[in-house]
Homo-oligomer: A and B are copies of this chain.
Amino acid sequence: MEDTSQRRPLIFVGNDDGYRAGGLKFLIDIAREYGDVFVAAPSTHQSGKSSALTVDVPLRARLFGEEPGLTAYHVGGTPTDCIKLAVSNLMPRRPDIVLSGINHGYNSGNSAIYSGTMGVVFEGSFLGVPSIGFSYGDYSAAPDFSVCEPVVRHMVELAVAGYLPTGVCYNVNIPKCDRVAGLKTVAAAPGRWTEEYDCRIDPHGYKYYWLTGKYVSSEPDSDKYDLYWLQRGYATVVPCRADQTAGDAISQVDGIVQNRL
């Protein structure tokens, strides 16, 4: 058997903002210090794409970077398409670690379900390897990601050292601030989006609707949730599972479904 003990880790890096995004470059540069990096990022902006797959048209993969320790493709599909195609057809072997981001904007509260950044991470978790998504709460056109660096390094070091349990994956959010106050492991804040669409009238008199809205936490004062800590200058780690089965509800629901059949 091949001796893999001394081999550098193979780190997959993806995102949802597309292969030209500053957050991706920042994450790649850090990841390269810890292993060989393989990038597959969307050819175009793919925010809000969740775990969507492209089924109606085929995918193309185009090489945009190749140097020692780095191979980088962009793929004309969703964030999930990118990692699936990379793992099944482009990479020399399965990755040891999956990283995604750094997203331009938060994926806190229930936004994780819509997040293409987290789509990559959930896919990574199906591979049974440590999978971490990073999101930064700066919505400017060209953010300076340097405040994220200690948090990203810490999580990547934990992953490389084998300390992170792989039965879950990780949604890391980092607040826009001068210096992160600390790192809290918590749950995603429950809540809902309000004022979701801006209705306008086109020049021909017909309605059209722009997605907008704001997230209202239903537990704004509880320190159990990510939004509480992000608002106080802390970065947050939410351990997540791709499998949405509510295991604790199975027996109650089975009773209801069976008894009344």
Contacts and interface: CB of A to CB of B under 8 A. Distances in A.
Interface string A149-166: 000001101100001110
Interface SS of chain A = mixed
Given A48-B55, A126-B110, A241-B246, A183 B258 contact: yes
Contacts of A155: 257
A205 interface: no
Given A250-B186, A254-B185, A197 B59 contact: yes
A84 to B, nearest CB: 6
Contact of A185 (B45, B118, B200, B257): B257
Residues of A in contact with B, size category:
35 or more
A165 B260 contact: no
Interface string A176-218: 0000001111111010110111011000001111110100000
- Per assembly, the copies of the chain total 2
A261 B182 contact: yes
Contact of A239 (B50, B190, B249, B260): B249
27 contacts: A45-B56, A48-B53, A50-B51, A50-B119, A51-B114, A52-B52, A52-B114, A54-B211, A59-B197, A59-B208, A61-B209, A88-B213, A110-B243, A113-B122, A113-B242, A113-B244, A158-B256, A163-B256, A164-B256, A165-B249, A165-B256, A185-B251, A185-B253, A237-B253, A239-B245, A239-B250, A242-B244
